[in-house]
């Protein structure tokens, strides 16, 4: 039968293939899980009860629930939902293992996440799971472990895009080590790893800390070059404006803020509040 059909589980956990009803069902399941904060019960028993009522679920609906639970910082419930999928023999993707590792770190600690990665069979141990552990190390500012893992990922050819570099760059910025961000950008060039918007933003922040306005402007020119295929969004112009302000170039900050206004979506609260805070700074004028 078609792989994209829905699995409905009986009380005996026998999978049956059915069509999916309206996605409001998924919304109602999510609300039930959120309500567990106030009533007794578990995520797994809530899903089982939901299915016994004759409702149906697809994996992508469960994935959306996990995503929303993470957004609301309901990490134990998100972890239990993925564990329920594992118990029910869902076909998990590499992304699922990476998400589970992140949730294990948040719920049970870094050591448990390390053990989870080690215990994963090599056949289902994706590079994204190593990237997830790298992110955990960087979030906890575990510099030595982050660098050692990053080196291992390079040696085993697990790094093929900017994400792991961005993760390590963010750690260096937290630790006030902007020169290491610059060095990582050079390494990306040597390895022919294309930077993305986040890479350039952190690079401009690093040059700003180093008071190197010329290199900030060159990084911005690279971003704006359509040949590079990088999205030059409001965050890029916010980084540029901050760099100018930090380096005392207040007049140059004004057109950067105007560009920020042009690029931002008016419904984006983060961009709006960021813009207001910069305009409200006396240093800008």
Q: What is the pLDDT of residues 94-145, one digit of tens each?
A: 999 999 999 999 999 999 999 999 999 888 888 899 999 999 999 999 999 9
Q: What is the pLDDT of residues 54-64, one digit of tens each?
A: 888 889 889 99
Task: Determine the Cα–Cα distance for residues 213 and 199; give it in Å rounded to an integer.
Answer: 17
What is the pTM for the complete model shown? 0.81
Least confident of 10-14, 139-143, 201-205, 254-258: 10-14
Q: What percent of the chain has pLDDT over 90?
A: 56
Other beta carbons within 10 angstroms of residue 14's beta carbon come to: 9
3-state SS, residue 16: strand
Q: Which two tokens stand for residue 35?
A: 């309500």
CA 197 to chain centre: 14
Task: Determine the Cα–Cα distance for residues 171 and 4; give it in Å rounded to an integer.
Answer: 40
Nearest to 42, CA basis, from 92, 72, 76, 12: 76
């Amino acid at each position: 039968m078609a792989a994209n059909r829905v699995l409905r589980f009986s009380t005996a956990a026998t999978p049956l293939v059915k069509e999916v009803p309206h996605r409001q069902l998924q919304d109602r399941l999510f609300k039930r899980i959120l309500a567990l904060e106030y009533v007794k019960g578990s995520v797994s028993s809530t899903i089982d009860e939901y299915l016994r009522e004759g409702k149906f679920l697809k994996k992508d609906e469960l994935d959306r629930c996990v995503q929303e639970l993470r957004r609301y910082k309901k990490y134990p419930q998100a972890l239990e939902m993925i564990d329920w999928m594992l118990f029910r023999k869902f076909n998990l993707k590499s992304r699922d293992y990476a998400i589970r590792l992140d949730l294990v770190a948040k719920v049970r600690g870094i050591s448990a996440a390390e053990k989870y990665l080690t215990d994963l069979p090599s056949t289902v141990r994706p590079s994204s799971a190593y990237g997830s552990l790298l992110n955990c190390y960087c979030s906890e500012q575990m510099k030595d472990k982050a660098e050692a893992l990053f080196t291992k990922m390079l040696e085993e050819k697990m790094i093929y895009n900017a994400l792991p570099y961005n993760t390590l760059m963010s750690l260096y910025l937290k630790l006030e080590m902007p020169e290491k961000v610059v060095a990582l950008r050079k390494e990306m060039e040597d390895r022919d790893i294309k930077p993305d918007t986040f890479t350039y933003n952190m690079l401009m922040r690093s040059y700003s800390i180093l008071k190197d306005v010329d290199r900030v402007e060159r990084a911005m020119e690279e971003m704006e070059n359509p040949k590079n295929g990088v999205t030059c969004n409001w965050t890029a112009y916010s980084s540029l404006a901050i760099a100018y302000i930090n380096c005392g170039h207040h007049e140059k900050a004004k057109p950067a803020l105007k560009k920020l206004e042009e690029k931002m979506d008016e419904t984006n609260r983060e961009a709006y509040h960021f813009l207001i805070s910069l305009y409200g700074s006396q240093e800008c004028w």
